[in-house]
C-alpha cells in the first residue's frame, strides 16, 4: 500500500485507514518536562514527536496548538456518571462528553448508582456504556453489597473485569471491623494485568455528621443549619490510617476537606505509610461563607469548610501531601437542588471547570497542575494507557490547553445534563482547546465532536 | 433581622402603635389592604403564629388563603417550588411562610415574581422576625423610655435551647440592634457550635444573673432533646435552667418574664411563675397581631394613605 499521504480520494473512499491527527505548534509538557514539539498521531497512537517540527502530512486533521500546552489527558479519580439509575441527572455519554471538554481522557465512575456497582453484572453494564463514551470510563466498585456497609461485595469478580478502585463513596464504611476485613481481603485481589486493587474511603463519621448539611461553625450557627465538624472527617481518616497500618494495605482518601486531614496524611506519608489522597477544586476555592444565601448549589459532602482549610488543601497540593485533584463531579437534576437546603441533594459539577480553576486559583506551575490531574491520578487509578509520556508508541490520550485564554463559566452551556455548578459567572484563565482520546479528536477548538 | 437594622425595626414598632390602637376599637378592622390577598403557607405545625398572621391580615381587610401540609398536595410529593408557583398563579400579594428548614423564605423570594412579598413566619432554627419584633415592642411598651432610646441599657437574658431556636437568633439581632445587652444562658449542648460574631455574653449560672436582669426570656424546650443526648433529663434541666418559683424571687419586681409560647409549664418555667404579674406572655400574643398588621401593611400597603387608618 502506498504511503497514506499519496492516496487519492478514490483510494480513501474504497478503504478504511487509520485517522491521522497532527498537533501543530504546541509545547509538550509531561512527566519528562516541557519541550516545543509537533505531535503526529496515527491509528490511535503517537507516531512521532518532532522537537524540530514535523511536516504536515497530507489528509491529516491539523489541530492548531500554537501558544498551547500539549499534555497527557487528564484523569479524574472521582466522577459520578449517574448511570445506571439517575439518567435524568447524567449519563455515561453526557458525563464523558463533559469530561472530554474538561480535558479528561479518563474518568473513574463512582459506584453509588442505582443499583450500586457492587457485582460483575453492573460493572459490565457500565463498561458496556463506556464503549461509546468520549473518554475512557474506568469503573469503580463498591466495598460492601449495596453500599449498605454490612457485607463485603465480591471484589475478586469485579477486579477480574479490571476494577481497580473500591469505595462506598457517598458514605464511609462505618463498621470498623468490616473495614478492617475489607482491607485485609483486598490485599490479595488482583486484576487481569496482575496489578492489585485499592480501597478508597469517603471519610465521614456517620454519627458525628448525622443531619449535618454544611460545615459546623460560624456560618452554620448563624444560618441555623445543622452542621458537621472537621472531626467528622478526621476521625475516619485517623481510623483508616490505623486500619491500613494494621493490615499492611494501601488506602486512598477521597476528597479531603480539612486542614487536620491534610496533616494526618502528611504525617502518615512521612512515616512511610502507603497512603494517597485527593482534593476537589471546590475545596480549594470555596468556603462555608458561600452558603449564606441558602443556595443548595453550595451544598456538598464533605461540606465547604473554612478559609484555613482552603489554604491547608492548597499547601497539601503544593507539597505533595495530596496526590491528585479530583472533581467529585456530582450532577443533580434541578428538582433535587430546588429544595430546602437541608433536604437538597449534596454535590457539584466539576469536570468542565476543574483544570481552569486549578490554573487560575493555585499558584502552581502548569506542570505541577498537570501532575496532580493527569499522571499521578493515572497511577493511582492503575490506568496503563493514561498519564503516559507524550512519546512515540504511546496511546494518543492528550489534551491541548491554552493557559492564557480567559472565559466565564455559564451553567447553561455545559455539556453535563445538569447545571449545578457553584462557579457560574466566575471568570477563569486556562481553557481546554482540544482533547484527543485514542487518537480521535473528541474536542476541537472547545467544541465536542460527538 | 440583621438586614432590617435599628431604623427598620423602629419603623415597624412606630407603626405598631397605630395598630395596637386599632385593635382596641370596638370593631378592630381597617380597610387598608382591601383587595389584597395574603396566603399563609405553613409547612410546620403552628397555632399561634398562623392565627396571629391570619387575624392581622383580616383586620387589614385582606383576603386570606390558608395552606397547610396536611391538607395539601405536599403529601403527594409536590415540590416546594411547584407548590409556591401554583399558589402564586392564583394571584397573591404576599406569602407568609413557615418551614422546618432554615432559609426557605430566601429561596421562595428568588422563585416568585418581584411583586409578591414573602414574609418569614419562622424558618428552621434560623429566624422568626415577627416574633422578635413583637418581643421588642412588648419590652419597649413595658420598660422602654418612650423617647426613641429603644432598649438601650436593658439587660436581657435568653435562657434555654438557643441552638435550635429561631426566636433566639432573631431576638439577639433585634435586642442588640436596639441597644440591649444580651446574655445567653444554656448548657453547652444547647448553644450554637460557634458564637463568633454574636454580640452576646454567655453564662451557665442563671442564679447569679437573675438579680441584675430587666428581662428574662425563656425558650421552649423540645422533649426530643433528650433523645439527641443533649440533656440527661427534663428534671435536671428544670433544676439548672428552669425559672422556678425560688428563682423568680431573685428577679427585681419590675423585671419582665417572657416566653414565645407555647409554654411547657413546669419545665422551663414553673406554672405559678408564668402567671405572675411580671409575666407578659399574654401581652406578647396580643402585640403579635398588631406587629404583624404593621409588617403586612408596610409590605403591601404602599400607596395607601396612612392617615386613613
Q: Give the tens place of pLDDT for each residue, A314-324.
A: 999 999 999 99
* pLDDT score at B308: 47
Using alpha carbons, list the distances in angstroms from residue A336 to A75, A114, A330, B69: 28, 16, 12, 20
| Average pLDDT of the residues of chain A | 96
* Angstroms from B205 CA to nearest CA on chain A: 22
* pLDDT score at A389: 97
**Angle in degrees, 0-180, between the axes of helices A259-270 and A230-247, rounded to the nearest 10:** 20
Taking the C-alpha atoms of B4, B6, B12 and B15 in order, what is their torsion angle to the nearest 10 degrees?
A: -150
Tens of pLDDT, residue by residue over A441-450, are 999 999 999 9
Mean pLDDT of A113-123: 98
Tens of pLDDT, residue by residue over B265-304, are 999 999 999 999 999 999 999 999 999 999 999 999 865 5
C-alpha cell at B273: 411563675
Report the residue of B191, B193, B199 to disrupt the A interface, i.e. the one with the largest count of A CBs within 10 Å. B193
Please name the residue ranges forming H helices in A64-154.
92-101, 120-130
Pick the CATH number of B5-126+285-308 from 3.40.50.300, 3.30.70.1150, 3.40.50.1370, 3.40.50.920: 3.40.50.1370
* pLDDT score at A447: 97
Measure the CA–CA gap between A143 and A166, rounded to whole angstroms.
Answer: 5
Q: Would the CB atoms of B103 and A221 count as touching at under 8 Å?
A: no
More confident residue, B252 or B3: B252
Q: Would the CB atoms of A224 and B194 count as touching at under 8 Å?
A: no
pLDDT confidence bin for A12, thresholds 50/70/90? low
* pLDDT score at A2: 57
- Say which CATH architecture domain A72-381 belongs to: Alpha-Beta Barrel (3.20)
Question: Would B5-126+285-308 and B129-284 be classified into the same CATH topology?
Answer: yes
Q: What residue ranges do the domains of chain B occupy?
A: 5-126+285-308, 129-284
Active site residue A295: no
pTM passes above 0.90: yes
- Please give the share of chain A, as a percent, with pLDDT higher than 70: 96
Q: Under an 8 Å CB criterion, which residues of A touch B? A: 216-218, 220-227, 229, 293-295, 335, 338-343
Residue of B nearest to A343 (CA): B101
Q: Would the CB atoms of A225 and B126 count as touching at under 8 Å?
A: yes
Tens of pLDDT, residue by residue over A341-374, are 999 999 999 999 999 999 999 999 999 999 999 9
- Please give the share of chain A, as a percent, with pLDDT higher than 90: 94
Cα first-last separation, chain B: 26
| Lowest-confidence pick of A131-145, A334-348, B295-309 | B295-309
More confident residue, B179 or B47: B179
Mean pLDDT of A16-40: 90
Chain B residues within an 8 Å CB radius of A295: 107
Domain B129-284 classification at class level: alpha beta
Measure the CA–CA gap between B243 and B241, rounded to whole angstroms.
Answer: 7
Determine contact, residues A25/A38, Cβ cutoff 8 Å. Answer: yes
Tens of pLDDT, residue by residue over A45-75, are 999 999 888 888 888 999 999 999 999 999 9
SS3 A75: strand
Q: Would the CB atoms of B103 and A223 count as touching at under 8 Å?
A: yes
Determine contact, residues B157/B209, Cβ cutoff 8 Å. Answer: yes
Question: Is pLDDT at B309 greater than 70 in this prediction?
Answer: no
Tens of pLDDT, residue by residue over A223-237, are 999 999 999 999 999
pLDDT confidence bin for A9, thresholds 50/70/90? low
Which residues of chain A does CATH 2.30.40.10 include?
4-70+394-448
C-alpha cell at A395: 496511546
Strands A275-279 and A251-253 come out as parallel
Using alpha carbons, list the distances in angstroms from residue A23 to A52, A55, A177, A322, A435: 13, 11, 52, 32, 11
In which residue are the cell numbers 477544586 written? A281
| Average pLDDT of the residues of chain B | 91
Tens of pLDDT, residue by residue over A64-105, are 999 999 999 999 999 999 999 999 999 999 999 999 999 999
pLDDT confidence bin for B46, thresholds 50/70/90? confident
Which residues of chain A does CATH 3.20.20.140 include?
72-381
ipTM reported for the complex surpasses 0.85: yes
DSSP secondary structure of B254-300: T-EEE--S---BTTTB-HHHHTSTTB-HHHHHHHHHHHHHHHHHHHH
Mean pLDDT of B136-145: 89
Q: Would the CB atoms of A294 and B196 count as touching at under 8 Å?
A: no
* pLDDT score at B225: 76
Nearest to B106 among A221, A294, A343 (CB): A294
- Say which CATH architecture domain A4-70+394-448 belongs to: Roll (2.30)
Amino acid at each position: 500500500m502506498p504511503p497514506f499521504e499519496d492516496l487519492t480520494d478514490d483510494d480513501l473512499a474504497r478503504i478504511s485507514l487509520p485517522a491521522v491527527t497532527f498537533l501543530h505548534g504546541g509545547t509538550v509538557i509531561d512527566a519528562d518536562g516541557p519541550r516545543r514539539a509537533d505531535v503526529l498521531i496515527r491509528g490511535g497512537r503517537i507516531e512521532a514527536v518532532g522537537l524540530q517540527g514535523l511536516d504536515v502530512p497530507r489528509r491529516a486533521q491539523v489541530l492548531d496548538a500554537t501558544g498551547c500546552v500539549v499534555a497527557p489527558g487528564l484523569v479524574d479519580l472521582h466522577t459520578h456518571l449517574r448511570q445506571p439509575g439517575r439518567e435524568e441527572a447524567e449519563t455515561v455519554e453526557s458525563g464523558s462528553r463533559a469530561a472530554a471538554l474538561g480535558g479528561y481522557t479518563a474518568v473513574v465512575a463512582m459506584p453509588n448508582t442505582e443499583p450500586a456497582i457492587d457485582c460483575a453484572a453492573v460493572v459490565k453494564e457500565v463498561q458496556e456504556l463506556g464503549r461509546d463514551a468520549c473518554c475512557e470510563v474506568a469503573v469503580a466498585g463498591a466495598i460492601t453489597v449495596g453500599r449498605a456497609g454490612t457485607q463485603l461485595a465480591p471484589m475478586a469478580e469485579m477486579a477480574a473485569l479490571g476494577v481497580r478502585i473500591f469505595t462506598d463513596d457517598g458514605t464511609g464504611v462505618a463498621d470498623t471491623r468490616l473495614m478492617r476485613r475489607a482491607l485485609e481481603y483486598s490485599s490479595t485481589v488482583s486484576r487481569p494485568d496482575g496489578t492489585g486493587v485499592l480501597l478508597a474511603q469517603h471519610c465521614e463519621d456517620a454519627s458525628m455528621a448525622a443531619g449535618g448539611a454544611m460545615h459546623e461553625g460560624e456560618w452554620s450557627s448563624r444560618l441555623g443549619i445543622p452542621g458537621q465538624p472537621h472531626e467528622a472527617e478526621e476521625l475516619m481518616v485517623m481510623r483508616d490510617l490505623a486500619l491500613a497500618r494494621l493490615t499492611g494495605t494501601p488506602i486512598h482518601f477521597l476528597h479531603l476537606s480539612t486542614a487536620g486531614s491534610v496533616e494526618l496524611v502528611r504525617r502518615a506519608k512521612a512515616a512511610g505509610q502507603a497512603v494517597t489522597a485527593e482534593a476537589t477544586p471546590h475545596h480549594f476555592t470555596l468556603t462555608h461563607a458561600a452558603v449564606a444565601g441558602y443556595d443548595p448549589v453550595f451544598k456538598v459532602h464533605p461540606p465547604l469548610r473554612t478559609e484555613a482549610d482552603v489554604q491547608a488543601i492548597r499547601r497539601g497540593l503544593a507539597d505533595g501531601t495530596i496526590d491528585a485533584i479530583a472533581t467529585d463531579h456530582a450532577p443533580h437534576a434541578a428538582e433535587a437542588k430546588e429544595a430546602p437546603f437541608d433536604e437538597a441533594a449534596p454535590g457539584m459539577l466539576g469536570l468542565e471547570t476543574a483544570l481552569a480553576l486549578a490554573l487560575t486559583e493555585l499558584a502552581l506551575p502548569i506542570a505541577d497542575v498537570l501532575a496532580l490531574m493527569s499522571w499521578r491520578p493515572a497511577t493511582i487509578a492503575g490506568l496503563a494507557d493514561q498519564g503516559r509520556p507524550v512519546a512515540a508508541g504511546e496511546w494518543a490520550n492528550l489534551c491541548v490547553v491554552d493557559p492564557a485564554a480567559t472565559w466565564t463559566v455559564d451553567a447553561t452551556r455545559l455539556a453535563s445534563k445538569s447545571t449545578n455548578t457553584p462557579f457560574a459567572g466566575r471568570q477563569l484563565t486556562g481553557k481546554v482547546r482540544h482533547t484527543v482520546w485514542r487518537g480521535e479528536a473528541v474536542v476541537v477548538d472547545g467544541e465536542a465532536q460527538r | 433581622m440583621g438586614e432590617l437594622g435599628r431604623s427598620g425595626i423602629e419603623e415597624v414598632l412606630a407603626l405598631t402603635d397605630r395598630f395596637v390602637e386599632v385593635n382596641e376599637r370596638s370593631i378592630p378592622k381597617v380597610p387598608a389592604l382591601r383587595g389584597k390577598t395574603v396566603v399563609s403557607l405553613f409547612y410546620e405545625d403552628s397555632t399561634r403564629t398562623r392565627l396571629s398572621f391570619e387575624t392581622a391580615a383580616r383586620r387589614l381587610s385582606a383576603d386570606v388563603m390558608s395552606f397547610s401540609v396536611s391538607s395539601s398536595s405536599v403529601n403527594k410529593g409536590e415540590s416546594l417550588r411547584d407548590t409556591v408557583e401554583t399558589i402564586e398563579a392564583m394571584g397573591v400579594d404576599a406569602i407568609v411562610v413557615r418551614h422546618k428548614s432554615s432559609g426557605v423564605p430566601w429561596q421562595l423570594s428568588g422563585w416568585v415574581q418581584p411583586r409578591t412579598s414573602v414574609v418569614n413566619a419562622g424558618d428552621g432554627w434560623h429566624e422568626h422576625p415577627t416574633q422578635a419584633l413583637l418581643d421588642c415592642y412588648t419590652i419597649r411598651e413595658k420598660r422602654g423610655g418612650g423617647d426613641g432610646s429603644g432598649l438601650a441599657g436593658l439587660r436581657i437574658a435568653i435562657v434555654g435551647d438557643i441552638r435550635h431556636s429561631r426566636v433566639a437568633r432573631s431576638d439577639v439581632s433585634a435586642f442588640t440592634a436596639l441597644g440591649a445587652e444580651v446574655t445567653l444562658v444554656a448548657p453547652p449542648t444547647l448553644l450554637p457550635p460557634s458564637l463568633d460574631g454574636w454580640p452576646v455574653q454567655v453564662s451557665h449560672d442563671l442564679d447569679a444573673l437573675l438579680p441584675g436582669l430587666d428581662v428574662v426570656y425563656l425558650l421552649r424546650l423540645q422533649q426530643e432533646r433528650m433523645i439527641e443526648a443533649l440533656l440527661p433529663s427534663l428534671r435536671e434541666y428544670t433544676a439548672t435552667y428552669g425559672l422556678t418559683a425560688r428563682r423568680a424571687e431573685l428577679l427585681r419586681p419590675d423585671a419582665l418574664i417572657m416566653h414565645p409560647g407555647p409554654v411547657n409549664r413546669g419545665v422551663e418555667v414553673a406554672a405559678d411563675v408564668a402567671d405572675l404579674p411580671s409575666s407578659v406572655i399574654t401581652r406578647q400574643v396580643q402585640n403579635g397581631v398588631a406587629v404583624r398588621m404593621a409588617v403586612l401593611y408596610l409590605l403591601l400597603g404602599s400607596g395607601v394613605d396612612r392617615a386613613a387608618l
